[in-house]
Amino acid sequence: MWHQYTILLGPGIDRDRVVASMSSDGIDIGVYYPGLVWDHEAYRNHPRVHRDDTPLARDCASRCLSLPVHPGLSTHDIERVAGALHRALLAA
């Protein structure tokens, strides 16, 4: 079952503003992938994690967020999420 739908915001869009705007509209969204694997303490110094310069991955991690998607959402709920995202993007 799906429980989230992760999107990549366009360059220059302030993710924090989008999150705040959607939260003020009552939409519970998340940033489930906030950084790269070695940003997490458990992997930071792990010998099997190869750390290198990955600007594209870092950029993507800074621009993704996850929208709620699950079987309990009605068509109205989905339209509400889409509308809130549209408004948030226009304001960002």
In this structure, what CATH number is given to the domain that contains residue 56? 3.90.1150.10
Share of the chain above pLDDT 70, in %: 99
8 A C-beta contact, residue 1 and residue 70 = yes
Residue 52's domain comprises 4-91
Number of domains in the chain: 1
Q: Answer yes or no: is pLDDT of 3 > 80.
A: no
Q: What is the pTM of this model?
A: 0.81
The alpha carbon of residue 8 and the mean position of all alpha carbons in its chain are separated, in whole angstroms, by 7
pLDDT tens digit string along 70-86?
A: 888 999 999 999 999 99
